[in-house]
Amino acid sequence: MRPIAIGRRNWLHVGSKEAGPKIAALFSIVERCRKLGIPVRQYLADMLPELADRSIQALAGLTPAAYAANLAI
């Protein structure tokens, strides 16, 4: 979380008000991957291409926890 705290000051004037919640969601995903021991780049490379073809109801299966469970199988 230290890079986030340092970056927060660096990114203070970048983007718009709408960017804050979006970057917070991205940081949440990255930190959850780290906590679960999932390589972040691998997770994003596997999940992002599938995202456009999924319905909103199927998004729960794309979480880092669901991804980790699928890797364990």
pLDDT at 51: 85
Spell out the domain ranges in the chain: 2-72
Confidence of residue 1 (pLDDT cuts 50, 70, 90): low
Return the structure tokens found at 53: 């073809």
**pLDDT, mean over the chain:** 82
CA distance 30 to 47: 13
Selection from 42, 25, 32 nearest residue 65 by Cα: 32
pLDDT greater at residue 2 or residue 37:
37
Average pLDDT over residues 26-52: 92
Cα torsion 46, 49, 52, 55 to 10°: value is -30
Confidence of residue 68 (pLDDT cuts 50, 70, 90): very high
pLDDT greater at residue 27 or residue 19:
27
